[in-house]
Amino acid sequence: MSTTDEASGDADLRDIARAVADEARSYLTTVTEVAAGTNPDASLPLLLLAVSDVLAAGARLGATQDVVPTLRFEPDLGPDPDVDPVRAGLANVFEGIDEYDEVVDPVLGPDVTQATVSGDLVSIAGALAQGLRHYETGQVLEALWWWQFSYLSDWGGRASSCLRTLQSMLGHLRLDVDDDVATEAEYDALQP
């Protein structure tokens, strides 16, 4: 590979890293605000958008050739961020509807397990925050490696399952109506 190719490859990776860092920050802000109860009426739509956006960034990571950092160990950045308050806030937001059934691995078989929306959202947040910590200390390749590895091994699947569940919740919220209301609306729609 020539020096020009390397510089071009580095520029491409830096562009990807910048885009993922922006999405990670946006996701973390949204999840934190929803957990704090800032705008309860918009919680589902905001989370649906945040998870969709971060999944698009993850898909870009998945489509990128494997990122290999120059160091073969993860630099110590100190203690992991404390996500327990966010987890507790999200569990409160989703009280009564947090748990859902999930297919463990649709490629390997039909095994089903229990998952929680709050747990998924926080798991994604933790992985994104860890990569963001590397990115913000100038360790761009380490950040990309972390985001890519954790996307493929964990948070991509978590986000996909969570997105489907959030979309289903929003669909039920918007489309499920009492039979009397549905009958009346149907009657009104059929009248000239």
Q: Residue 143: CB partners within 8 Å, gap ≥ 6?
A: 17, 20, 21, 131, 132, 134, 135
- pTM of the full structure: 0.83
DSSP per-residue letters across 71-136: SSSPPP-SSPP--HHHHHHHHHHTTTT-EEEEES-TTT---EEEEEHHHHHHHHHHHHHHHHHHHH
* Calpha distance 8→4 (Å, rounded): 6
Per-residue pLDDT reduced to its tens digit, 20-61 = 999 999 999 999 999 999 888 899 999 999 999 999 999 999
The answer to whether 118 and 93 are in contact (CB under 8 A) is: yes
Per-residue pLDDT reduced to its tens digit, 115-165 = 999 999 999 999 999 999 999 999 899 999 999 999 999 999 999 999 999
The answer to whether 183 and 75 are in contact (CB under 8 A) is: no
Q: Give how far Cα 109 sits from Cα of 105, 112, 165, Å.
A: 6, 9, 20
